[in-house]
Chains A and B, each alone.
Chain A
Amino acid sequence: ETGVTQSPTHLIKTRGQQVTLRCSSQSGHNTVSWYQQALGQGPQFIFQYYREEENGRGNFPPRFSGLQFPNYSSELNVNALELDDSALYLCASSDWTGDGNTIYFGEGSWLTVV
């Protein structure tokens, strides 16, 4: 167990709708990253939040947005859902102030867009 929890675990949405995914980071970790993993692919970096500010973004359009809260938990919001958004969405937490620490993933949220 990594201590990173995500909700919901599975959901189905219709094309054009909006979705919010939630993540609680591991205790003591102040940095949260989100990744998208399509079937048969490795995770792709969406963005990272540190102290409630976006700190790096991958090649994803602006309809992918996020928030980090003072307790370091985070949300991923996706607007105007497209069929290709169907994927496993992974949250990962890390400690920015650590010494060479790496990141730990939650179990993910499976999103199906129909």
Chain B
Amino acid sequence: QKEVEQDPGPLSVPEGAIVSLNCTYSNSAFQYFMWYRQYSRKGPELLMYTYSSGNKEDGRFTAQVDKSSKYISLFIRDSQPSDSATYLCAMSERGYQKVTFGTGTKLQVIP
């Protein structure tokens, strides 16, 4: 079993839809939770960063962490074609140390 599980998709939604992306994990020592966006053939770009459990909102993006269920989510409101990319969940025991990634979910937002 992988430490971090993420549905690879692809996920295809119409423009304006609410998108829900999810990951589960098995390592209870993870404390830092991140979402990265990666466009084709580019490096990952940090979208959201959360410490421990709770919610965090940034514009159209909301990250949720439920440590009791070992489950994290990223919601994208009013999705845009420019949101089409691969979304990687990532987590670590300490924020600046080894980060464990999911396999990524490929999202396509159709105009």
Q: Which of B13-21, B53-61, B70-78, B97-105 contacts A (4 or more CB under 8 A)?
A: B97-105
> How many A-B contacts are there with CB distance less than 8 Å?
72
How many B residues are at the interface, by size bracket?
A: 20 to 34
Whole-angstrom distance between the alpha carbons of A101 and B90 in the complex?
A: 14
User: Which of B6, B44, B88, B96 is A96 in contact with, Cβ under 8 Å?
Assistant: B96
Which residues of chain B have C-beta atoms less than 8 A from A103's C-beta?
46, 95-96, 99
How many A residues are at the interface, by size bracket?
A: 20 to 34
Which residues of chain A have C-beta atoms less than 8 A from B49's C-beta?
102
Interface pair A101/B95, CB less than 8 Å apart: yes
| Chain B interface residues (CB < 8 Å from chain A) | 4, 6, 8, 32, 34, 36, 41-46, 49, 51, 88, 90, 92, 95-104
8 other A-B residue contacts (CB within 8 Å) besides A40-B8, A43-B101, A98-B95:
A31-B96, A41-B103, A42-B88, A43-B99, A100-B95, A103-B96, A105-B46, A108-B42
